[in-house]
Amino acid sequence: MKEEESKGTGASGETAVLPETAAQLVELERLQRALAEADERGRSHWEQYLRAVADLDNVRKRAQREVEAANRYGLEKFVSELLPVKDSLDLAVQNAGHADAASLRAGQEATLQLLDRALDKLGVRAVEPDEGERFDPARHEAVMTQEAAGAEPDSVLKVVQRGYELNGRLLRPARVIVARPPGSKP
């Protein structure tokens, strides 16, 4: 039994490895400290990870709330700019029965000016190419082509409908008639 105890076999049947020299004992203690330090760093890193995940989730939720608020209230400025236009149209409809053509036209022009100012404040700009300007498929839509002896081929002959852009982003292309060389087929 003495021989078993010296080799590390205890009464419970477990084998314990006993260091044979003082150097091994020192190395074992160093390794145990290193393991404890590594465990502590691991716990610290795990806690940092959990905090970072929570912070990221909070940022995501805050951004989502801000997007929802922008969607909900973003139209507020747009609507407040258009309300005077609606008021003007309501007034025109109320007075249409007893107004002459000249006053109706003046009212329509005033309403159009209100609408133009509102769109301008909102950053909406008209895309209206000049006659003779080169056709740009990124900003223009060709509704038809037409022979034009005096015009440069692939140039704008006429604007059928204005286009519009919002803060530099095209909302609707200008619809145009485009010149084609004489004798060419459409």
pLDDT in tens, 159-185: 999 999 998 899 999 999 999 887 777
* Residue 182, domain member (yes or no): yes
CA 133 centroid distance within chain: 33
Total domain count for the chain?
A: 1
More confidently predicted of 40 and 74: 40
Q: Domain with 155 in it: what CATH number?
A: 2.30.22.10
* Residue 106, domain member (yes or no): no
Distance CA 180, CA 151 (A): 8
pLDDT-derived band of residue 58, with 50, 70 and 90 as boundaries?
A: very high
Q: Residue 179: enclosing H or E segment and its boundaries?
A: strand 174-180
* Residue 85, domain member (yes or no): no
> Which structural domain range is residue 158 located in?
125-186
